[in-house]
Amino acid sequence: MTATPDEHFFVVDGRRWRRTDPALPEDLAAALRSHLGRGRNAVKQAKRSGDEDALAAARHRNGLAKHGLGERGPEWWTRPEADRIADARATLAELDALDSDSPDASSRPLP
């Protein structure tokens, strides 16, 4: 893995990926990464079971987490830091709400 000179992206096997916003506090970024990881696992499980609704929900969680981390959506380096952090916190609240809306949310620990 190599970083691009501007450090906005990194390259793996010739493919360029946007980096996580470095301004995000570590606890916020870790919570967003936790949602992303759970979403990725849910995608695998939904694909195995053929559950299209669960697959759509898992992909939605992944998209939200990636937006919160700054890996999708507006380029984080063009926006004010305070706005980026506020948006990431709002995204985390939205992701946490997905868990509280879930019928088995009480069995899962929150980040």
Burial class of residue 41 (count of CB atoms within 10 Å of its CB; 0-12, 13-18, 19+)? exposed
Query: Which of these, 102, 88, 111, lies nearest to 35 by C-alpha position?
Result: 111
pLDDT in tens, 15-71: 999 999 999 999 999 999 999 999 999 999 999 999 999 999 999 999 999 999 999
* Structure tokens that stand for 13 in this block: 């096997």
The pLDDT of residue 7:
84
**62 compared with 5, residue with greater pLDDT:** 62
Q: List alpha helices for 50-101, DSSP H.
A: 52-69, 81-101
Query: Which of these, 17, 11, 19, 36, lies nearest to 70 by C-alpha position?
Result: 19
pLDDT mean over 2-18: 85
Residue type, 78: T
Strands 15-18 and 9-12: antiparallel
